[in-house]
Structure 1
Amino acid sequence: MPKVAFLFPGQGAQVVGMGRELDAELPAARALFDRANEVLGFDLRKVCFEGPAEALEATDVSQPAIFVASLAALESLKATEPAIVESCEGAAGLSLGEYTALVFAGALDFETGLKIVRRRGEVMQSAALATPSGMISVIGLEEAKIDELCAKVAPHGRLWKANLLGPGNIVVSGETSALAQVEAIATELGAGRVIPLKVAGAFHSPLMKPADDQLAEVLASAPLATTRVPVYSNVDSTPHPDPDDIRTTLVAQVVGEVRWDDSMRRMMADGFDTFYEIGPGRVLTGLLKRIDRKVPCTSVPAR
């Protein structure tokens, strides 16, 4: 029997129109958008379905939008392939997606998760505005070379590893002055491509302080339960079933590295051999193929 795991996407997966068909066709998905509008106090459905893209891409909007759209996609899988959902034995989510995974795993209910995600987006957006900064994807350099890149850029500004996504696929975060030097230095070090990301700031770096402390306040009072299936944490690639441990790792995630490559390898080492990417986009499917081409990953889109 296959050992099934679900993967949930993070910020950047958003696209105008996501969830529209599910909302029209599936009552359970429609109920999620209805409840989200009530909890958030604005028309998330309209922003998801109609945009504009600039509104959907704002951190404090895109995070709850992807969260809700991903859970709507999960409802579609429940409706069409309930046995797969019942057989799932583990989960992981990229950054924001870790919250979606925790809802699936029973650690958070939908409303609690949505409120936390909305606040997370707000405090991260605020931290991003405090310092001109951003993120760049560097393709073709391994972690040691990225460390060298950060050291060489240091005279111009602060730069950190942020997302370790797979072999030769690492995202760096830093101040705008540092980012301006990345392409030239990364190319000298042998990078194949350097791609600036459309994000508000240097996520998963120390520049996100004090967003982590503000999120900690929210999580401290939020009701969490023990996970019913393991959710592999971004910060250390390890499942944390205990609610207090979950709080600790979610706070650490704001300023810490997303070790996605390690998480996928740990899951495969633990016997997971069949994956489903649930939510908008196919980024996680592509990342998994770079890590191990033989492992199947099926997309369950937020159409």
Structure 2
Amino acid sequence: MTRAFLFPGQGAQTIGMGQALAQDYAAAQAVFDEVDEALGEKLSDLIWTGSQDDLTLTRNAQPALMATSMAAMAALKSEGVTIEAAAYVAGHSLGEYSALCAAGALSLADTARLLRTRGQAMQEAVPVGKGAMAALLGLDLATAQKVAKAAAQGQICTAANDNDPAQVVVSGHREAVERAVELAKAEGAKRAILLPVSAPFHCALMDPAAEVMADALSHVDIERPAVPVVGNITAHAESSPMLLRNHLVDQVTGAVRWRESVLWMAAHGVTETWEIGAGKALTGMVRRIDKSLATRTVGTPDEVRAAAETLNG
């Protein structure tokens, strides 16, 4: 088996995620402790005992999901599984930061601070209520792009996430996205629904956030990753620190090319994916993209031990 480690993005957050990992593995607890210290607050308390509404705030959800993924990676390492067990790493949106951290390109503390900055900047880029995102289910990318273009009418409306063959998310001005929902239904979408998000991610309305991230990223060290990172923007593997830095800026406003990323990995020998951290949304997408790929989720102590057993015999 040639595997890729995948790291989830926003939407996977749940109260209590990662707590069992921290209870079973000292190394996982140490991850949460380091993130708390880097942020100067007890984010772990919010993750484990806070309110779902507070956890879902972009500024909290982004570092929280990364911390949970890194806790799972630390637990895997305790069981003898290192990052080199993967041929590639990839993450969905903020998950790209988790992938870079897992591969040693970014330090854990820097990743936590960058994601707090990213979440805050994305939240503040557009006044609440001015933007929206909608999932168009049952339309391919080309049709979704046609719908978005027709819905724009002088406003911004673009395909933001190409998740799988039958799920594309559009993002932009609220009125334009609402028009896209209606047009998508006329184009034969099975469903077209507004998403409960606080800002219109991955579109040109995020330009102010991209500027903030360009500045923040200019002040951190990015090392060459231990394994190549398949990026959201390019949908192919990259290891150059300079390019990885540029891609993190570009992905704030650019589309997440997840479907193409998975197809690229499959074409380059990947036969199995491990979703590291909270939830199983990426695993569902992978199955819809390429049914030949084996999948596994690694987010609980039992899943960590089972994954390690498959490698260690």
How far, CA to CA, are the matches of 1:75 and 1:242 in structure 2? 25
How far, CA to CA, are the matches of 1:170 and 1:220 in structure 2? 32
How far, CA to CA, are the matches of 2:300 and 2:135 in structure 1? 25
What amino acid sits opposite 2:13 in the alignment? Q
Please give the residue correspondences for 1:188-199 in structure 2 after superposition, counting only pairs within 5 Å: 188-199=186-197
Distance change (3 Å), C-alpha of 1:216 and 1:41: same
Q: Which residue matches 1:16? A: 15
The answer (yes or no) to whether the contact 2:83–2:226 under 8 Å persists in 1 is no
Residues 261-283 of structure 1: per-residue CA shift (max 9 Å, x gap): 11111111111111100010000
Distance change (3 Å), C-alpha of 1:219 and 1:156: closer
What is the Cα deviation at residue 158 of structure 1?
2.4
How far, CA to CA, are the matches of 1:154 and 1:101 in structure 2? 33
How far, CA to CA, are the matches of 1:143 and 1:27 in structure 2? 44
How far, CA to CA, are the matches of 1:129 and 1:66 in structure 2? 24
The answer (yes or no) to whether the contact 2:156–2:204 under 8 Å persists in 1 is no
Deviating above 6 A after TM superposition, structure 1's stretches of 4 or more consecutive aligned residues are: none
How far, CA to CA, are the matches of 1:248 and 1:272 in structure 2? 26
What amino acid sits opposite 1:201 in the alignment? A
How far, CA to CA, are the matches of 1:141 and 1:65 in structure 2? 32
What is the Cα deviation at residue 9 of structure 1?
0.3
Aligned length: 301
Residue of structure 2 aligned with 1:104, choices 102, 105, 108: 102
Matched position secondary structure for 2:235: coil
Structure 1: gaps of 5 or more residues = none
What is the Cα deviation at residue 85 of structure 1?
4.4
Q: Which residue matches 1:33? A: 32
What is the Cα deviation at residue 182 of structure 1?
2.6
What amino acid sits opposite 2:267 in the alignment? A
Structure 2: gaps of 5 or more residues = 302-313
Q: Which residue matches 2:308? A: none
What is the Cα deviation at residue 12 of structure 1?
0.9
Residue of structure 1 aligned with 2:213, choices 212, 215, 219: 215
2:146 is the counterpart of 1:148: yes
How far, CA to CA, are the matches of 1:76 and 1:142 in structure 2? 38
What is the Cα deviation at residue 188 of structure 1?
0.4
Matched position secondary structure for 1:17: coil
Please give the residue correspondences for 1:1-303 in structure 2 after superposition, counting only pairs within 5 Å: 2-80=1-79, 82-83=80-81, 85-129=83-127, 132-155=130-153, 157-301=155-299
Residues 273-302 of structure 1: per-residue CA shift (max 9 Å, x gap): 111000100000000000111211100015
What is the Cα deviation at residue 130 of structure 1?
6.6
Distance change (3 Å), C-alpha of 1:272 and 1:164: same
Residues 230-251 of structure 1: per-residue CA shift (max 9 Å, x gap): 1001001122211111111110
How far, CA to CA, are the matches of 1:275 and 1:168 in structure 2? 20
Q: CA RMSD in A?
A: 1.5
What is the Cα deviation at residue 84 of structure 1?
6.5
The more displaced of 141-150 and 258-267 is 141-150
The answer (yes or no) to whether the contact 2:27–2:78 under 8 Å persists in 1 is no
What is the Cα deviation at residue 77 of structure 1?
2.1
- Residue identity (%): 37
What TM-score do you get using the length of structure 2 for normalisation?
0.92
The answer (yes or no) to whether the contact 1:236–1:259 under 8 Å persists in 2 is yes
The answer (yes or no) to whether the contact 2:9–2:92 under 8 Å persists in 1 is yes
